[in-house]
Structure 1
């Protein structure tokens, strides 16, 4: 329907015949969020620029077959545990669990067949003032060797003229661990602009980060201060300003691939601000999560094509992933990912877009 704030169509079909739906949520000035039910993916995010135009600012694919062909987490909801668990091992109440390892020696983003590979169900579509879609997925006990059945409820909602809110809740029937996030790759110059994100100005509201070993597992030490390091983004600076400095942590991550430690009490607060110099687009990210993974697209190697058939290369986009710190099940000094029956896991992130004042 012309002028509607929300529409739904079929984006593709799974090999077993099930349809993958696409839901388009509209704000103002051409702002759109396009969500597909496979992986609860943000397939496109259309945002205004400073010159009155609009463009898609997240990596992805134009057709569904490409999402099935290669697993790169583009725009996906990842779980049951986002980021890494060392050797895929953890203990809960004295019971040891071994997860599949799928990232060197470690478990990453839910294992071999995580939430990004699941078809989520549409539970509700709200065509009100804040158009929204609610998706659900039930992960059975033992899936990827995680304990407990986990019921997840996720809502994307346009909560402002150019603002997308993502909320997730999860409940379990036995003690388990949970750590969810969205894995969008952002380029505020445009997903097919071919302009690297190294000139984007980044601010991260964090005084500490987690140093990692060469397999991206946090070192057995407290969080490090960002002061005097290439990891200091407390004041906005270009992503690439110090990315080539001779720093062991930059070597270990092949650039930025580190968790920043946010001061949170479960309340929504500003975590990061990203600005593109040419388009003038600004994205502010608010979250209630204790960590923000900053990933500068170091492993994008040109072997995959994205929208418009263009090859995706290193630093073509970056991720800002709010979540609990990596390897938390094995680190009692880290925020806990434990979820017990009767408790509710709650995740809230807001992407607020604006343009630079002329």
Structure 2
């Protein structure tokens, strides 16, 4: 096990941006920037014994803060907070007080607002090479940041095991009641040649999904996947039943006991022999097939477009802060927020 801390040569404000490499005994490598805790590389060995990088991103850090990239910003590989997905009209009420967030996605607030956790330089609080290669990042989100209430302290630990498991452990506490819904937004492609992901085989352990309005805001209604294009309870190719124009951009309610660490999804690419298994304590997995992705000069100069990747974003129910019958997403001062998500890669 190895941990390497590498300077990028960039500063944002008065904070230096580093890449932290986690390497296991098999040679699997994960590289994470402390800016947005962006997973920049996830290099694994496929069934042919060849190493390949399974996440989209850039060769250089500077591209992540490039103005052209940010114009059609897809949150490549970044943490999302304080609140993942969309909050209807950017509005919520906590303890009788009304809050108005930025409307950065039509009339709604997306992924925490104009400058969410994805655009913060996190502090590196610790690294370790035993029992796993690991790094812990921390961000203090002050009261009023993006107009959320309360000082929120967030820790995010990444651990890489010898079983090719990347474990993400989140923890947060607050001094004032505040909504919180964290996730990570890595874009995966398991193909050796970076082909479109339509022929990836996908299974999602969810018998229901969340109804969305025309701007993808969750309404509060639960719908069965049976007899719909959203049924991935049995493994099938992503493109088998999808809308050829829109693909998938949908929140699935996982079949599980609330809070237990269980398998959310499994995605396989036959040529590489790679499978990505996603485990989570969270009740929802948002499945996105990158319809709106438009990135120039990605890794090795590649352009990324629609359906070039998939995301499995584990989280609580989107917009739950406005839907009382959904699981609670308001963290109280006496509580501790925790979440665990595991990306496990196998080759066969």
TM range (shorter): over 0.9
1:226 aligns with 2:219: no
Separation in 1, partners of 2:11, 2:137: 18
1:267-294 C-alpha deviation (Å, 9 max, x unpaired)? 1100000101210101111000010000
Separation in 2, partners of 1:151, 1:220: 29
How do residues 162-173 of structure 1 correspond to structure 2 at under 5 angstroms? 162-173=164-175
How do residues 46-195 of structure 1 correspond to structure 2 at under 5 angstroms? 46-69=43-66, 70=70, 71-190=73-192, 193-195=193-195
TM-score (norm 2): 0.95
- Inter-CA distance 15–152: structure 2 relative to 1 (3 Å threshold): closer
1:34 aligns with 2:31: yes
Asked if 2 retains the 8 angstrom alpha-carbon contact of 1:62 and 1:306, the reply is: yes
Instruction: Tell me how far 1:244 sits from its aligned partner.
Output: 2.9
* Corresponding residue SS for 1:206: coil
Asked if 2 retains the 8 angstrom alpha-carbon contact of 1:264 and 1:288, the reply is: no
Separation in 2, partners of 1:24, 1:240: 34
TM-score (norm 1): 0.93
Separation in 2, partners of 1:240, 1:344: 40
Structure-2 residue corresponding to 1:248 = none
Structure-2 residue corresponding to 1:304 = 296
1:242 aligns with 2:241: yes
* Corresponding residue SS for 1:211: strand
- Residue among 313, 338, 342 paired with 1:350: 342
1:326-347 C-alpha deviation (Å, 9 max, x unpaired)? 1101101111111000200001
Structure-2 residue corresponding to 1:273 = 266
1:105-160 C-alpha deviation (Å, 9 max, x unpaired)? 11001100000000000000112130100000000000000000000011000134
Asked if 2 retains the 8 angstrom alpha-carbon contact of 1:12 and 1:63, the reply is: no
Asked if 2 retains the 8 angstrom alpha-carbon contact of 1:148 and 1:172, the reply is: yes
Structure-1 residue corresponding to 2:19 = 22
- 236-245 vs 87-96, greater mean Cα deviation: 236-245
Asked if 1 retains the 8 angstrom alpha-carbon contact of 2:210 and 2:223, the reply is: yes
- Inter-CA distance 343–28: structure 2 relative to 1 (3 Å threshold): same
Asked if 1 retains the 8 angstrom alpha-carbon contact of 2:210 and 2:220, the reply is: no
Separation in 1, partners of 2:2, 2:305: 34
Asked if 1 retains the 8 angstrom alpha-carbon contact of 2:317 and 2:326, the reply is: yes
- Residue among 283, 308, 333 paired with 1:290: 283
Structure-2 residue corresponding to 1:328 = 320
Residue segments in structure 2 that go unaligned for 5+ positions in a row: none
Structure-2 residue corresponding to 1:202 = 202
- Inter-CA distance 279–29: structure 2 relative to 1 (3 Å threshold): same
- 303-312 vs 34-43, greater mean Cα deviation: 303-312
* Corresponding residue SS for 1:304: coil
Asked if 2 retains the 8 angstrom alpha-carbon contact of 1:189 and 1:278, the reply is: yes
Asked if 1 retains the 8 angstrom alpha-carbon contact of 2:220 and 2:326, the reply is: no
Separation in 2, partners of 1:143, 1:314: 32
Asked if 1 retains the 8 angstrom alpha-carbon contact of 2:8 and 2:61, the reply is: yes
Separation in 2, partners of 1:330, 1:264: 23
Asked if 2 retains the 8 angstrom alpha-carbon contact of 1:290 and 1:324, the reply is: yes
CA RMSD of aligned residues (A): 1.3
Asked if 1 retains the 8 angstrom alpha-carbon contact of 2:12 and 2:121, the reply is: no
Instruction: Tell me how far 1:18 sits from its aligned partner.
Output: 3.2
Runs of 4+ in 1 over 4 A off after TM superposition: none
